[in-house]
Structure 1
Amino acid sequence: MSYQSVFGATATAAINGGAVPLSSYNDGKAIQTMATVLCCNCGAPIDGTLGISMCYDCVKLSVDITEGIQRESTVNFCRNCERFLRPPSQWVAAQLESRELLALCLKRLRGLTKVRLIDAAFIWTEPHSRRIKVKLTVQGEAFANTIIQQSFEVEYIVVATQCPDCAKSFTANTWRATVQIRQKVPHKRTFFYLEQLILKHNAHRDTISIQETRDGLDFFYSQKNHALKMVDFLSAVSPIKMKKSEELISMDTHTATRSYKFTFSIELVPICKDDLVCLPKKIARAAGNIAQVTLCTRVGNAVHLLDPETLDSMDLQPATYWRQPFTTLATSTTLTEFVVLDIELTGVERGKYALAEVTVARSSDMGRNDNTYFVRTHLGGILHTGDTVLGYFLSNANFNHELWDTLNQNNVPDVVLVKKSYPNRKKSKGRNWKLRRMAKEYNEMEDSGNSMSAKQRQIEQDRVERDYELFLQELEEDPELRGTINLYKQPNSQVAGRQRQPQAARMEGIEGGGEDEVSEVDGVGDAMETDDNDGHAAESEFDEEDDDEDSLPEVGLDELLDEIDELTLEDAYVDE
């Protein structure tokens, strides 16, 4: 700000003994001039009509308009939810050096209302110092009709504390709403997939606790609106039925204020991927007269069913199912292994499915009898002669199902092929990818009520681990299913950067590998040196195993995400 803008125009006439003429003549015309005085400190001429005795620069040096404004203050930060306290009791989320954090810091500063704020900006500080520095520029009136501008710094100390919401999350029975998800199926693969969808969309952000039960998951919330958001998300990604209930906790008789606990009971449709479904006649006719015996190929917000003999498909909506609910005919736990003896494509294709006529035989019948079965399948695009495939063996099946008894058995196929199998898959094979998991607590009250023994708990744990391994295998086999969730690179994995090489190249470069690889190849070498015939057999077995590994489904590196450990605000303020 210039001297002229604050004190007015300076005198242009010469000063003679401190006396300045008020007027002068130019070509006979009187020109009015301004009276000036000298500054009492530096002697600079200033406007004498303002009634001050110092120039602008001297006023800035002698007067402090920031007096009374705090130079140090504190801000409260919650480590759990990473929010700052906005007085008196509001907790808001704000990133470092953001507009929200700057507004919060300015509101915590006392004495700032006495001056006019012109500018405010952050000064970078080391994150681990627990300090936030802000540079402020203000304007204020030093004397009458005298406005000056000054800048100063304010330092804020970040105090780690715990917000009331996080305090409630560590206390039992403090929730106000809960979402209970259940599905009446003998496995947990559906909940593994649902867990990955929740993690991808960050739908569990507002939960204060997650409990795992034998039949599903329980999500607890401090507010009803948060539970309703979870219900909306579940209805968008899966076929559900919802029931709501509420429980009165307390009531104020003077103000008629009531406090409730809300429970949202979610039931998933008990139809999973690869299940064999027998539709009621009414639903089958309404869907274009599709066959009653169908195969479930995918479960989204609706159940996608496919007739493997004609490639006709339909979407079973949740509302349609719950009007006339029915159970599945068979689940993937009853699949039988078959061997493909002959295959011929029919030329009919719909999407990723290709109709083919296949001759198969049960793997258990190989070498015992000559029973073969001629079927039509939707897997013509991936099956070849000699492959093994899993399917439902219906020729001698006896289902205790009311819809099965109403079917015309002449129209029921002998075998329904479901998916290609990989019998040489190694269960302990290292994967170059991994999945994130939610932090869940197990509900021990349910087990204590059922009085489960230690052996039963171990059996239950083994079943869950087996279901999780099957879920991982499904992800490897189905690229469409992998596209709906996030897969992350496995850190420090030898499989991630390993390129497949020929057998000779592997044996030459095996010296740099691990001990397991060395022992495996040494065993093959010993067998080759012992006997030529045995050596050829071992070599052929090695080649066969190598070919089987090459044919196994794998997840490409281009489908994996880097697991970046984001530096959260809590970590930024941790002392070194």
Structure 2
Amino acid sequence: MDGVAAPTTGTLPTILCCLCGTAITSNPSNMCVSCIRGQVDITESIPKTASIYYCKGCARYLQPPKHWVACELESKELLTICIKKLKGLNKVKLIDAGFRWTEPHSRRIHVRLLVQKEVFQNTILQQEFVVEFVVDYQQCDMCQRDAADLDEWQAVVQVRQKVQHKRTFLYLEQLIIKHSAHEDTVGIKVHPDGLDFYFMHRSQGIRFTSFLNHVVPIRSKQADHLVSHDANSNTYRYKYTFSVEILPICKDDLVVLPPKVATHLGGIGPLVLVTKVSQALTIIDPFTLQTAELAAALYWRYPFQALMSIKQATEFFIMDVEKSEDRKGKWCLADATAARSVDYGSNDNQHFIRTHIGNFLRPGDLALGYDIGNAVYNDNLLAGHKKLELPDFVIFKRTYSKKNRSKRRMWRLKRLNMELDESMVDTGSHKRVPMDPIAKMAAEQEEFMQDLEQDKDLRSTINIYKDPKRIQPAGGTDMDVDEGAQPKPVKQVVAAAEDGEEEEDEEYPEVPIEELLEGLVLEDEPGAPAPVPGEDEQEEE
């Protein structure tokens, strides 16, 4: 009919390929699929061969830059490592990936990849290809440390502190474990005045020294000596020694500040107590509650020694406490009536002592203090103070009766894997040794653990772990729990006390179960660090 258009079919025009002349549907490239694939390679920016590193000692693969992952062949973890090794994948779209089977002993891994990319306007090309990975052997850092000889070290950090006890070192050991600062060590040796940490590289020793500088007040110096020299290649091999000296003042020490130091700290003291050891010393005047922080740089400019340390402390029995209104934080001035424990009950000697721990003392408590009136000390420590009058007594800490509390302890501390230096081991000589070093270290460790139980602030800075030998699951085991019985509280799930054992103090502080962490590996399990000898023997006595 006139004026009506005839219907048309929706067919696309057909053209000839500009290269091979094949009839194709019209597209922006004017080429068939075969010619597009021959002219354009969307995988040209992706390498077809690569290398991955495998440690035969622990069966782990390297995930750059330095993370080692345990993977099985044809696993998702291994496929992730292989794909991350390829550069240029960000220019294409990854559709699929998988493995192609190869002989396990061939040290070859074939990964099949399917990618897409837009090559022309509205023209998307999809291509599949295979990447071959060559497995190269390389030892991981952990296996290097296990296989390395201690004599092959390149850097050693010698940490020393010239004091009579190891309280600071025991605290430093826990900080090292908490922050994993010992992971690069190839060996740790115990010396009479400190520890030696051995490393395979100089940079590791520098990093460890920097860590020490952030947790304890120190000063350090570096030395090196030539081990070998190859004149043909002009290469040198050195061994580096980092000497680190910790400030010889510890927590609870009684010190007399030099006049210049006291003036620099705002006129504090000069007789002060050390309440905390960190990057700087926190001190307090026990008679005015004035506090200050003594930096390591200021101490080394005007060095001094402690007037008395905790080894010289005397135990007192508190008979009465009268608190004053002078308070500062947790400190409170108080007038205490006390008698030395050795005198209490045998004579009527009583002493009126001004103390700063009034909030922590009650009549009937035991406390540690310094008997300055009967002490013997060097007069040079008072140099510069002509009219200084020292008090007869200074009380600094509440204490408890001395008992073996390890049998009821539900927690443990991780220890570094250390070995004693040859000079500390008895070789059969007739040289007189004041005390067995192993027994001394075990006794100091027990004192440190009791300090943790009594000081909540000290516990908050380190990691304390549940002892799986003492704490059992809530339901117990099949052998010790009857059917229908209620689970015992954690405090009751402890090794039963033997007949005749002394009763525990009701007021003695216990570490709350909420502060304990999981994950402690005991020394009798494979791969666990060995503690200092003598610790377990003391608990089993």
Shorter-normalised TM range: 0.7 to 0.9
Which one of 14, 27, 44 corresponds to residue 34 of structure 1?
14
Question: What is the DSSP-based 3-state SS (H/G/I as helix, E as strand, rest coil) of the residue aligned with 2:378?
Answer: coil
* Matching of residue 362 in structure 1 with residue 340 in structure 2: yes
Which one of 433, 449, 473 corresponds to residue 450 of structure 2?
473
Pairwise mapping of residues 107-506 of structure 1 onto structure 2 (< 5 A)? 118-119=93-94, 136-138=113-115, 149-151=126-128, 162-163=139-140, 166-167=143-144, 170-253=148-231, 256-404=234-382, 411-423=389-401, 425-444=403-422, 446-447=423-424, 456=433, 459-494=436-471
In the alignment, is the contact (CA less than 8 A) between 2:14 and 2:24 conserved in 1? no
Query: Distance in 1 between the 2:109 and 2:359 partners?
Result: 62
Query: What displacement does 1:51 show?
Result: 8.7
Range with greater deviation from structure 2 (327-336 or 154-163): 154-163
Query: What displacement does 1:78 show?
Result: 5.7
Query: Distance in 2 between the 1:278 and 1:136 partners?
Result: 74
Query: Distance in 2 between the 1:212 and 1:158 partners?
Result: 41
Q: C-alpha root-mean-square deviation of aligned residues, in Å? A: 4.7
Which one of 489, 510, 514 corresponds to residue 554 of structure 1?
510
Query: What displacement does 1:120 show?
Result: 7.1
Query: What displacement does 1:488 show?
Result: 1.5
Tell me: CA distance 1:286–1:135, structure 2 relative to 1, closer, same or farther (3 Å): same
Question: What is the DSSP-based 3-state SS (H/G/I as helix, E as strand, rest coil) of the residue aligned with 1:198?
Answer: helix
Question: What is the DSSP-based 3-state SS (H/G/I as helix, E as strand, rest coil) of the residue aligned with 1:395?
Answer: helix
In the alignment, is the contact (CA less than 8 A) between 1:244 and 1:265 conserved in 2? yes
Query: What displacement does 1:242 show?
Result: 0.6
Write the deviation string for residues 222-241 of structure 1: whole angstroms up to 9, x where unpaired: 22222211111111111101
Query: Distance in 2 between the 1:518 and 1:469 partners?
Result: 19
Query: Distance in 2 between the 1:454 and 1:36 partners?
Result: 104
Query: What displacement does 1:318 show?
Result: 1.1
Query: What displacement does 1:212 show?
Result: 2.3
Tell me: CA distance 1:54–1:473, structure 2 relative to 1, closer, same or farther (3 Å): closer
- Equivalent residue letter for 2:236: R
Q: How many residues in Structure 1 have an aligned counterpart in Structure 2? A: 473
Range with greater deviation from structure 2 (76-85 or 354-363): 76-85
Could you say which structure has the higher helix fraction? 1
Query: What displacement does 1:102 show?
Result: 3.1
Range with greater deviation from structure 2 (239-248 or 73-82): 73-82
Write the deviation string for residues 97-150 of structure 1: whole angstroms up to 9, x where unpaired: 38982346548xxxx99xx964277769xxxx999895521469xxxxx99635
Query: What displacement does 1:299 show?
Result: 0.6
Write the deviation string for residues 465-508 of structure 1: whole angstroms up to 9, x where unpaired: 0111111111111111111111122224248979xxxxxxxxxx
Tell me: CA distance 1:70–1:457, structure 2 relative to 1, closer, same or farther (3 Å): farther
Tell me: CA distance 1:517–1:54, structure 2 relative to 1, closer, same or farther (3 Å): closer
Identity of aligned residues (%): 36
Q: TM-score, normalised by structure 2?
A: 0.73
Q: TM-score, normalised by structure 1?
A: 0.69
Write the deviation string for residues 547-576 of structure 1: whole angstroms up to 9, x where unpaired: x23x111111222222278xxxxx9xxxxx
Range with greater deviation from structure 2 (298-307 or 221-230): 221-230
Query: Distance in 1 between the 2:293 and 2:412 partners?
Result: 31
Tell me: CA distance 1:348–1:179, structure 2 relative to 1, closer, same or farther (3 Å): same
Q: Which runs of 5+ in 1 are unaligned?
A: 1-24, 38-43, 60-64, 141-145, 499-508, 525-541, 566-570, 572-576
Range with greater deviation from structure 2 (314-323 or 403-412): 403-412
Rg larger in 1 or in 2?
1
- Equivalent residue letter for 1:101: I
Tell me: CA distance 1:336–1:560, structure 2 relative to 1, closer, same or farther (3 Å): same
Question: What is the DSSP-based 3-state SS (H/G/I as helix, E as strand, rest coil) of the residue aligned with 1:411?
Answer: coil
Query: What displacement does 1:256 show?
Result: 4.8
Write the deviation string for residues 366-389 of structure 1: whole angstroms up to 9, x where unpaired: 122211111111110110001111
Question: What is the DSSP-based 3-state SS (H/G/I as helix, E as strand, rest coil) of the residue aligned with 1:194?
Answer: helix
In the alignment, is the contact (CA less than 8 A) between 2:305 and 2:381 conserved in 1? no
Range with greater deviation from structure 2 (201-210 or 155-164): 155-164
Query: What displacement does 1:282 show?
Result: 2.3
In the alignment, is the contact (CA less than 8 A) between 1:430 and 1:495 conserved in 2? no
Tell me: CA distance 1:26–1:319, structure 2 relative to 1, closer, same or farther (3 Å): same
In the alignment, is the contact (CA less than 8 A) between 1:251 and 1:257 conserved in 2? yes
Tell me: CA distance 1:494–1:251, structure 2 relative to 1, closer, same or farther (3 Å): closer
In the alignment, is the contact (CA less than 8 A) between 2:159 and 2:195 conserved in 1? yes
Query: Distance in 1 between the 2:211 and 2:135 partners?
Result: 36
Which one of 93, 97, 103 corresponds to residue 67 of structure 2?
93
Query: What displacement does 1:36 show?
Result: 7.7
In the alignment, is the contact (CA less than 8 A) between 2:368 and 2:395 conserved in 1? yes
Q: Which residue of 1 aligns with 2:82?
A: 102
Query: Distance in 2 between the 1:197 and 1:554 partners?
Result: 21
Question: What is the DSSP-based 3-state SS (H/G/I as helix, E as strand, rest coil) of the residue aligned with 2:408?
Answer: coil
